[in-house]
Structures are given as C-alpha cells and as structure tokens.
C-alpha cells in the first residue's frame, strides 16, 4: 500500500480496517511502518502543502490535511512553514482567475477566491491592487480615452 503512494497514519489505518484486519494487527503494522520511517504524518503534510499546484488558501490546505487524518495543529504548522506564502498563492490565483475570465466582476472574483480558502481581507486587498493595475494599464494603452490626447498621435 505504501509503495504506491504516501499515506497518513489515519488513511493506512482506515484501509487496513476495510480489508478486514484485526485491531491488534493494524496497530502492530502501523507501529512497525512508523518505526521504520515509511509512515510520517509531518512529512506527508509538508509534501502535500509544497506539492500543491492549485493555489489555495491556508484554511483550505489545513482542512484538506485534517480530512486526510493529520492533526489540526500539525496541519497548521505545515501550512505556516510552506515554501509559498498565502499571499503568493493568492496572487497566482487572482492572476489565473482574470486570465481565464477577463470580464469577471469584482464580487464574483471575490467569491471564487473565497471558495479557494483565502481570507476575505486578503482577497479584497489583492482585488483592489489588481483593479488599480488594470486601470493604469488601460490608461497607458488608450491615452486618448482618458483626456490625454496630447500623448496620442
């Protein structure tokens, strides 16, 4: 089981129970693989967080780890020590969102980012910055539309 993919202790325990093994046999097997270094929930959590391709917020990462059987405190510690900060992941998610749906409204973008587990305060701060950048970019590309006719040919 562990040769195919990394599992948490809770996942391994659950799989062995479903296969009909006795409680004592499962406890012995789990203890054995933990002792031999084949089962490490902290390592699982670090690899899970750092290996995520999809940009999601800390709350969602913690929830996904807890769902996989990692203790909440250990999940929070793994997420807080991740290679990419939540702010970097939020920036990436915002850019991807507007790249794929260019006419997305501000409230719709906020809801989409909230579903990804980002905190509302960070979402609105990032969306305001994105909106300001897009207005500046538009003003620079279309100066005649913004009363700067002297710049246009």
Rounded CA-CA distance 133/140 in Å is: 11
Same structural domain, 114 and 143: yes
What sign has the CA pseudo-torsion 85, 88, 94, 98? Answer: negative
Instruction: Note the maximum CA span of the chain.
Output: 83
Q: Out of 30, 54, 83, pick the residue that ends a domain.
A: 83
| Domain housing 2 | 1-39
Same domain, 62 and 76: yes
Same domain membership, residue 32 and residue 6: yes
* Same structural domain, 92 and 137: yes
- The SS3 of residue 78 is helix
Query: How far from chain centre, in Å, is Cα 142?
Result: 36
pLDDT single digits (tens) 57-89: 999 999 999 999 999 999 999 999 988 899 999
Instruction: Tell me, yes or no, whether 19 and 66 share the same domain.
Output: no
CA-to-CA distance for 16 and 22, rounded, in angstroms? 9
pLDDT digits (tens, 9 = 90+) for 94-104: 999 988 887 88
Q: Looking at the 3D structure of the chain, how many domains does it have?
A: 3
Question: What's this model's pTM, rounded to 2 decimal places?
Answer: 0.73
4 to 27, 53, 100, 101: CA distances (angstroms): 21, 20, 35, 37
Q: How many CB atoms lie within 10 A of CB 67?
A: 11
pLDDT in tens, 96-139: 998 888 788 889 999 999 999 999 999 999 999 888 877 655 55
Instruction: Tell whether 91 and 79 lie within a shared domain.
Output: no
53 in the same domain as 32: no
């Amino acid at each position: 089981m562990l040769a195919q993919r990394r599992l948490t202790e809770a996942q391994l325990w659950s799989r062995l129970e479903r296969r009909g093994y006795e409680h004592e046999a499962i406890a012995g097997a789990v203890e054995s693989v933990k002792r031999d270094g084949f089962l490490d929930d902290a390592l699982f959590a670090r690899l899970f967080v750092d290996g995520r391709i999809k940009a999601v917020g800390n709350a969602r990462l913690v929830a996904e780890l807890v769902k996989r059987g990692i203790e909440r405190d250990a999940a929070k510690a793994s997420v807080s020590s991740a290679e990419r900060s939540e702010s970097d992941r939020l920036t990436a998610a915002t850019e991807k969102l507007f790249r794929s749906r260019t006419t997305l409204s501000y409230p719709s973008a906020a809801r989409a980012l909230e579903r990804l587990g980002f905190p509302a305060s960070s979402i609105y701060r990032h969306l305001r910055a994105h909106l300001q950048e897009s207005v500046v970019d538009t003003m620079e590309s279309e100066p005649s539309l913004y009363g700067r006719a002297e710049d246009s040919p």
